[in-house]
A and B are shown apart, each in its own frame.
Chain A
Amino acid sequence: MKKPFSLQVDMDSFLPASAEEKEYMVQMRPSTTFFRDGVKRLVKNKIALISFIVIVAITVAAILIPAFWPYSYDQMLGVQPGRPVDASYNNLKPMTYGRTEQKLIDAGEDVFPHLFGTDQHGRDYFIRVVYGTRISLAVGFFASIIVLIIGITIGAISGYVGGKVDLVIMRIVDIIYSLPDMLMVILLASVLGVSRLGEAIEGTSLERIGGNIISLFIVFAILYWVSMARLIRGQILSLREQEYVLAAQATGARSGWIIRKHLIPNCISVVIISTALQIPNAIFTESYLSFLGLGVNAPMSSLGSLASDALNGISSYPYRLVIPAIVISLIVLSLNLFGDGLRDAFDPKLNA
Chain B
Amino acid sequence: MADNQTPLVDIRHLKEYFYISTGPFTTKPLKAVDDVSFTIRRGETLGLVGESGCGKTTVGRTVLQLYKPTGGEIWYDGKQVKTARDLKEFRTKATMVFQDPYSSLNPRMTVSDIIAEPLDVHGLYKTKEERRERVLELMQYVGLNSEHASRYAHEFSGGQRQRIGIARSLSVNPEFIVCDEPVSALDVSIQAQVINMFDELQDKLGLTYLFIAHDLLVVRHISDRIAVMYLGKMVELADADEIYGHPLHPYSKSLISAVPVPDPRTARANQRIALKGDIPSPLNAPSGCPFRTRCPYATDACAESMPEFKEVSSGHFVACHRTAEINS
Given contacts A248-B121, A253-B121, A266-B106, contact A243 B100 (CB under 8 A): yes
For the complex, would chain A's binding face be called helix, strand, loop or mixed by DSSP majority?
Answer: loop
Contact indicator A14/B95 (Cβ below 8 Å) = no
B192 interface residue (CB < 8 Å to A): yes
- Judged by a CB distance under 8 angstroms, whether A33 is at the interface is yes
Query: Most chain-B CB neighbours within 10 Å: which of A246, A265, A266?
Result: A246
Query: Which B68-90 residues have C-beta < 8 A from chain A?
Result: 87-88
Number of interface residues of B (CB under 8 A): 46
Given contacts A26-B145, A249-B66, A252-B88, contact A244 B192 (CB under 8 A): no
CA distance A8 to B262 in the complex (A): 9
Whether A3 pairs with B64 at a CB distance below 8 angstroms is: no
Interface residue? B291 (CB, 8 A): no
Would you call B168 an interface residue if the criterion is a C-beta within 8 Å of the partner chain's C-beta atoms? yes
Q: Is the CB of B91 within 8 A of A251?
A: yes
* Separation of A123 and B211 alpha carbons in the complex (Å): 81
State in angstroms the CA–CA spacing of A253 and B113 once bound together. 14
Q: Nearest chain-A residue to B145 (Cβ)? A: A26
Taking CB atoms, residues of chain A closer than 8 Å to B95 are 250-251
Q: Is the CB of A247 within 8 A of B192?
A: no
Q: How many pairs, one residue from A and one from B, have CB atoms within 8 Å of each other in the complex?
A: 97
In the bound complex, how far is the Cα of B66 from the Cα of A3, in angstroms?
A: 33
Q: Which residues of A contact B122 (CB under 8 A)?
A: 251-252
How many of chain A's residues touch chain B, expressed as a range?
A: 20 to 34
Partner among A31, A34, A243 whose Cβ is within 8 Å of the Cβ of B98: A243
Q: Check B96 against A247 for contact (C-beta < 8 Å).
A: yes
Q: Say whether A262 faces chain B, with CB atoms less than 8 Å apart.
A: yes
**Are A3 and B220 interface neighbours, CB within 8 A?**
yes
CB neighbours (8 Å) of A252 from chain B are: 87-88, 91-92, 118, 121-122
Within 8 Å CB of A16, what residues of B? 143
Q: How far is the CA of A114 from the CA of B38 in the complex (A)?
A: 89
Q: Check B103–A253 contact: CB distance below 8 A.
A: no
Residues facing B in A232-265 (CB within 8 A) are 242-244, 246-253, 257, 261-262, 265
B91 and A34 contact, CB distance less than 8 A:
no
Task: Give B141-194 interface residues, CB cut-off 8 Å to A.
Answer: 143, 145, 148, 150-152, 155, 165, 168, 172, 188-189, 191-193
Partner of A246, one of B66, B150, B188, B195: B66
Bound-complex Cα distance A88 to B21 (A): 76
Would you call B29 an interface residue if the criterion is a C-beta within 8 Å of the partner chain's C-beta atoms? Answer: no
A165 lies within 8 A of chain B by Cβ: no
Measured between C-beta atoms, what is the minimum distance from B110 to chain A in Å? Answer: 9
Residue in contact with A9 in the complex, picked from B88, B148, B155, B188, CB distance below 8 Å = B188
Q: For B107, list chain A residues within 8 Å (CB).
A: 34, 266
Evaluate whether A28 and B155 lie within 8 angstroms (CB atoms) in the complex, with A11-B196, A251-B118, A252-B88 already known: yes
| Nearest B-chain residue to A19, judged by Cβ | B145
Answer whether A251 and B152 are a contact pair too, CB < 8 Å, given A11-B192, A14-B193, A243-B100.
no
Contacts of A251 in B (CB 8 A): 91, 95, 117-118, 121-122, 172
Partner of B104, one of A3, A4, A33, A244: A244
In the complex, which residues 195-233 of chain B have their Cβ closer than 8 Å to any Cβ of chain A?
Answer: 195-196, 199, 217, 220-221
> With A246-B66, A266-B106 given, is the CB distance from A5 to B217 under 8 Å?
yes
Within 8 A of B (CB), among A1-58: 2-9, 11, 14, 16, 22, 26, 28-29, 31, 33-34
Identify the closest chain A residue to B190 (Cβ): A14
Query: A31 to chain B: which residues have CB within 8 Å?
Result: 150-152, 155
Contacts A34-B152, A250-B64, A251-B172 given; does A22 touch B220 at CB 8 Å: no
Known contacts being A22-B145, A251-B122, A257-B121, is A246 close to B196, with CB within 8 Å? no
B112 interface residue per 8 A CB criterion: no
Instruction: A43 to B262: give the CA distance in the assembly, Å.
Output: 58
- How far apart are B186's CB and chain A's nearest CB, in angstroms? 12
Min CB distance, B34 to chain A, in Å? 22
Which residues of chain A are within 8 angstroms of B117 by Cβ–Cβ distance? 247-248, 251, 253, 261
Contact of B103 among A5, A242, A249 (CB under 8 A): A242
* Known pairs A5-B195, A7-B260, A34-B107 / 17 extra A-B pairs, C-beta < 8 Å: A2-B199, A3-B220, A5-B220, A5-B221, A9-B191, A14-B196, A16-B143, A22-B145, A243-B103, A244-B104, A246-B98, A247-B98, A247-B104, A251-B95, A251-B117, A252-B92, A253-B117
The 4 A-B pairs with the shortest beta carbon distances in the complex, nearest first, are: A252-B91, A243-B104, A251-B118, A265-B108
| Chain A contact residues, CB within 8 Å of chain B | 2-9, 11, 14, 16, 22, 26, 28-29, 31, 33-34, 242-244, 246-253, 257, 261-262, 265-266
What are 22 A-B pairs at a CB distance below 8 A? A4-B221, A5-B195, A5-B217, A5-B221, A6-B217, A7-B262, A11-B192, A16-B143, A28-B148, A31-B150, A243-B98, A243-B103, A244-B103, A247-B98, A247-B104, A248-B117, A250-B91, A250-B96, A251-B121, A252-B122, A261-B117, A265-B108
